[in-house]
Amino acid sequence: MTRRLPALAAVAALAALALAGCAQDLPAASGAPSSSPSPSLGGGITVDAAASLNEVFPKLAASFQQEHPGTTITFNFGGSSTLAASIVSGATVDVFAAASTKTMRTVQDASLTAGDPVVIARNELEIAVPPGNPGRITGLADFGDAAKTVVVCDRTVPCGAAATQVFDLAKVAPKPDSYEPDVTSVLTKVEGNEADAGLVYVTDVRAAGSKVEGIPFPEADEAVTAYPIAPLKGSRNAALAGAWVAYVQAHEADLRAAGFLAPR
Amino acid sequence: MSARRRRDPLARIPRAVLVPGAIAFLLLVGPLVALLARAPWAHLGDLLAGDTVLPALGLSLGTAAASTGCCVLLGVPLAVVLSGADGWPGPLRRLVRALVITPLVLPPVVGGIALLLLLGRTGLLGGPLFQATGVQIPFSTAAVVVAQTFVGLPFLVLGVEGALRGVDRRFAVAATTLGAGPWTRFVRVTLPLAAPGVAAGAVLAFARAIGEFGATVTFAGSLPKVTQTLPIAAYLALNSDPEAAIAISVVLMVVAVAVLVSLRDHWLQGIGR
Amino acid sequence: MSGLDAELRVERDGFVLDARLVVPAHRVVALMGRNGAGKSTAVAAIAGLLPLDGGRVVVDGEVLEDVASGRVVPPERRPIGVVQQQSALFPHLTVAANVAFGLRTQGRSRSAARAEAHRLLTDAGLADLADRRPSAVSGGQAARVALVRTLARSPRLVLLDEPLAAIDAELRPALRDAIRAQLRAFAGSALLVTHDVRDAEALADEVVVIDRGRVLQQGSLASLRAAPAAPIVSRLLDGATD
């Protein structure tokens, strides 16, 4: 006599599968790393990384995957704080690269990092203005001018914390028209010439190419933000996670080429 | 009459729908239950008492009410045009209807960028406006209302169009043969008979406006008391203080549920008799 | 020429109505025919709810529509009242407000229209319904209210489209009497669409029979019975159809 799976369980299982399918496309695990230099590496990992890394990390991943056939690195770029919140809330992530040590600390405090985070790069703020600088922005003082349309990151995200720091140093009382949720939306407003100026990272100005112009200011050097990276405890592929972290550290020069400052 | 009360045989539902229906309900309600379970009830008051939540709540309620008003004032006339569009060429009618619905399927952030491209200070319309008057729409409370109206209008237009089509033709015939021209017929007969649909559409538009985040933050920005609505405050709080974010989300949920519970069944069904 | 003189040509989805319908002044003519004969199409065309493809509509000498000259009076400005098969009282208005509706569109003030509506309902013996909603009156009462509502505007021609068809059979004789009384007090002409010969017997001075969009015969009930022009005429007058 055969036992039949109860209909409820079957449907529930199907629904769970369907939901998993909705949630993410799991990278196919390949078990044949035939000619790989380190034959133990295979499968895939998910890397949560600060939005400002979204130019340089995919390039590094491409060369990494070439060196280690059969591996897949999937990125999830976003505001560091948002990513950290989702990791703390239980998202399954293998590696986290944050745009500030403070944000990384929230993950460390939850005992979710595997080993100490390593700083791979640093970044500093720069004023971004639309091409031609239509608002005639000259420096940080313009952020205190209510007549100018200026945007900064919200204090709750790293670029906003850094902004607060430079405003304090420059003794400017900022009067922004908007506290944006991440650096990308600051850049969107400047690129679209909706704002006369925004405060973003040097690397963002570099990555935006001709769509914005950068105006450096002296206080930026005093508010440098660090980019720590760490493999996470919940990783189902710790070997690959560790290898990726090591690879990024070894290719620090590529980060500098993208405009980041050296870790020290 | 029989003393034994039987259930209406036509009210019985096929058993096969029970399991997937229950899963659907759990999928909808589960996250909300989890939110309530994790809510920091003990210090909810402290979390909400800061100078962020109350202004954001007031701004959300005010802008959502204003955008609902705009939706009704602009959406009802559009619904009237669409409900009378049967004589249009088929492709044109389908295209217009598709365009009206598009904001429903557009990612809200994309909608916000589209609004910037139209109404921003270098936008198609916003550019000339800014050149001529120096007025810029983004970063203003008006921009919040515009963004919310943009995302809420499809709900209202679809609801009202359905309700207008549901009004029996014989009432229009009666009104006309009693001497009513198109305007009188619309104001005194068709619109009152479609009122439940208008109310349902307005409530849905309001609920959508209250929850609006992506288009608002992209088009209007986020400045406390000016453009920072409750969903934006919740999103920003998530970065620094997840407990506060959950607390704000609970407030949002309570507002949304209160609004939707006020939607009576028959409003959703239109004017059946 | 008083009353209705309509030459109707309407082509629609393969059906062709091609009929001349005449209602002498102050008379009631029953328009009879089987389902699909074109009765409702004729009513809609006369009322201006359906454009003519040919012909003209003249009421009491006034040309309301004339395809040849291009003249068209919109339906809301025609001196024609219509009572539909389902009485179509506005469900969101009270009975009195329903009656007042057509008086308001004639430009009367709200209070004058309301007073007149109450007077007309009282005359028709329906005063106690005045403040009810249509959902709270019977089908027969609704039919009578609908006629009061239409006649309140003093149209020169009233079109009644099967006013009794939706009424229970046992209630029809009493309702026929009531409608006859209302029509008798009415100064204009009337075209009564029906497929029931008892309606024609009770209410009409003359009968016109149409079939497949064309007039078969017109005359008094007695003359049609005496010499039916086609088998369908005698079947209709025997009450043997549908």
Domain tally, chain B:
1
Express the helix, strand and coil content of chain C in percent, nearest 5 each: 40, 25, 35
CATH of the domain at B84: 1.10.3720.10
Residue B146: which H helix or E strand, with range?
Answer: helix B141-166
Tens of pLDDT, residue by residue over C83-133, are 998 889 999 999 999 999 999 999 999 999 999 999 999 999 999 999 999
Instruction: Determine the average pLDDT of the residues in B171-195.
Output: 94
CATH homologous superfamily, domain C4-79+155-237: P-loop containing nucleotide triphosphate hydrolases (3.40.50.300)
Instruction: Determine the average pLDDT of the residues in A120-131.
Output: 94
Tens of pLDDT, residue by residue over A200-237, are 999 999 888 899 999 999 998 888 889 999 999 989 99
- Interatomic CA distance for residues A118 and A247, integer angstroms: 12
pLDDT at residue A33, as a whole number: 37
Contact between chains at B178 and C153 (C-beta distance less than 8 A)? yes
Q: For strand C15-23 and strand A125-129, is the pairing parallel, antiparallel, or unpaired?
A: unpaired
User: Is residue B39 less than 8 Å (CB to CB) from chain C?
Assistant: no
What percentage of chain C reaches a pLDDT higher than 70? 98
Of B106, B133, B134, B130, the residue nearest B119 (C-alpha): B130
- Interatomic CA distance for residues B202 and B209, integer angstroms: 10
Find tokens 């359906």 and name the residue. C50
User: Is residue B43 less than 8 Å (CB to CB) from chain C?
Assistant: no
Residue of A34 and A61 predicted with greater confidence: A61
**Kindly report the CA angle at B54 between B50 and B58, in degrees rounded to 5?**
165
Find tokens 């102050």 and name the residue. C26
**How would residue A22 be classed by pLDDT, with cut points 50, 70 and 90?**
very low
- Interatomic CA distance for residues C235 and B162, integer angstroms: 44
The phi-psi region of residue A171 (left if phi > 0; otherwise alpha if psi is between -120 and 50; otherwise beta) is left
Tens of pLDDT, residue by residue over B148-160, are 999 999 999 999 9
pLDDT at residue A198, as a whole number: 95
In a domain, B134, yes or no: yes
Distance of CA A260 to the CA centre of its chain: 13
- Predicted confidence (pLDDT) at residue B48 exceeds the cutoff of 90: no
Tens of pLDDT, residue by residue over C53-84, are 999 999 999 999 999 999 999 999 999 999 99
Of C50, C49, C39, the residue nearest C12 (C-alpha): C50
What percentage of chain A reaches a pLDDT higher than 90? 60
Query: How far, in Å, are A62, A196, A204, B2 from residue A127 at the CA level?
Result: 31, 10, 10, 83
In a domain, B12, yes or no: no
- Interatomic CA distance for residues C242 and C37, integer angstroms: 12
Instruction: Determine the average pLDDT of the residues in C15-40.
Output: 92
- Nearest-neighbour CA in chain B from C238: distance (Å): 31
Instruction: Determine the average pLDDT of the residues in B199-227.
Output: 92
Q: Do chains B and A touch (3 or more CB pairs under 8 A)?
A: yes
Q: Where are the domains of chain C?
A: 4-79+155-237, 91-154
CA neighbours closer than 13 Å in the CB half-sphere of residue A140: 20
User: Is residue B176 less than 8 Å (CB to CB) from chain C?
Assistant: yes
- Interatomic CA distance for residues C129 and C142, integer angstroms: 10
- Interatomic CA distance for residues B264 and A240, integer angstroms: 55
Enclosing domain of residue B115: 45-269
CATH homologous superfamily, domain A125-222: Osmoprotection protein (prox); domain 2 (3.40.190.120)
pLDDT at residue B264, as a whole number: 63
Contact between chains at B175 and C153 (C-beta distance less than 8 A)? no
Instruction: Determine the average pLDDT of the residues in C137-143.
Output: 92
- Interatomic CA distance for residues A174 and A164, integer angstroms: 9
Burial class (CB within 10 angstroms; exposed 0-12, middle 13-18, buried 19+) of A145: middle
Contact between chains at B170 and C86 (C-beta distance less than 8 A)? yes
- Predicted confidence (pLDDT) at residue C194 exceeds the cutoff of 50: yes
Angle between helix A238-250 and helix A56-67 axes, rounded to 10 deg: 120
Residue-wise over B183-203: b if at least 16 C-beta within 10 A, else e? ebbbebbbbbbbebbbbbbbb
Using CA atoms of C120, C126, C132, C138 in order, give the dihedral in degrees to the nearest 10.
-130
Instruction: Determine the average pLDDT of the residues in B217-222.
Output: 93
Q: Choose, out of B171, B177, B271, the residue to mutate when testing the contact with C (most C CBs < 10 Å).
A: B177
Contact A99, A83 (CB under 8 A): no
**Kindly report the CA angle at B96 between B92 and B100, in degrees rounded to 5?**
170
- Interatomic CA distance for residues A89 and A85, integer angstroms: 6
pLDDT at residue C133, as a whole number: 94
pLDDT at residue A32, as a whole number: 37
ipTM value for the complex: 0.92
pLDDT at residue B43, as a whole number: 83
- Please name the member of B173, B181, B273 whose beta carbon is closest to the beta carbon of C84: B173
Q: Look at the alpha carbons of B230, B235, B239, B244 in this order and tell me if their dihedral is positive or negative.
A: positive
SS3 C204: coil
Q: Do chains A and C touch (3 or more CB pairs under 8 A)?
A: no
Of B187, B222, B195, B204, the residue nearest B68 (C-alpha): B204
Tens of pLDDT, residue by residue over A231-250, are 999 899 999 999 999 999 99
Query: How far, in Å, are A39, A203, C27 from residue A33 at the CA level?
Result: 6, 35, 100
Query: At a CB cut-off of 8 Å and minimum separation 6, what does C224 contact?
Result: C207, C209, C217, C233, C237
Q: Which CATH number fits domain A43-122+226-257: 3.40.50.300, 3.40.190.10, 3.90.550.10, 3.50.50.60?
A: 3.40.190.10
Average pLDDT, chain A: 84
- Predicted confidence (pLDDT) at residue B4 exceeds the cutoff of 90: no
- Interatomic CA distance for residues C137 and C96, integer angstroms: 12
Q: Choose, out of B239, B240, B248, B249, the residue to mutate when testing the contact with A (most A CBs < 10 Å).
A: B239
Residue B188 DSSP class: I
Query: How far, in Å, are A47, B109, B117, B138, B173 from residue B121 at the CA level?
Result: 38, 18, 9, 8, 49
CA neighbours closer than 13 Å in the CB half-sphere of residue C220: 4
Residue of A7 and B87 predicted with greater confidence: B87
Task: Identify the bridge partners of residue C215 per DSSP, sorted by sequence position.
Answer: C210
pLDDT at residue C36, as a whole number: 86
Phi, psi (degrees; rounded to nearest 5) at B17: -85, -15
Residue C66: which H helix or E strand, with range?
Answer: strand C62-66
Evaluate whether A43-122+226-257 and A125-222 have a shared fold.
Answer: yes
Q: Where are the domains of chain A?
A: 43-122+226-257, 125-222
What percentage of chain A reaches a pLDDT higher than 70? 85
In a domain, B11, yes or no: no
Contact between chains at B178 and C135 (C-beta distance less than 8 A)? no
pLDDT at residue B5, as a whole number: 64
Using CA atoms of B132, B137, B141, B145 in order, give the dihedral in degrees to the nearest 10.
120
Residue A215 DSSP class: E
Query: How far, in Å, are A148, B119, B128 from residue B148 at the CA level?
Result: 26, 14, 23
Q: Look at the alpha carbons of B249, B250, B254, B260 in this order and tell me if their dihedral is positive or negative.
A: positive
User: Is residue C136 less than 8 Å (CB to CB) from chain B?
Assistant: no
**How would residue C142 be classed by pLDDT, with cut points 50, 70 and 90?**
very high
pLDDT at residue A31, as a whole number: 37
pLDDT at residue A25, as a whole number: 38
**How would residue C1 be classed by pLDDT, with cut points 50, 70 and 90?**
low
Burial class (CB within 10 angstroms; exposed 0-12, middle 13-18, buried 19+) of A62: exposed
Partners of residue A82 in chain B, C-beta under 8 Å? 235, 238-239
User: If you measure CA to CA, which chain C residue comes closest to B182?
Assistant: C76
pLDDT at residue A8, as a whole number: 41
User: Residue A19 carries which side chain, given as an amino acid letter?
Assistant: L
Average pLDDT, chain C: 92
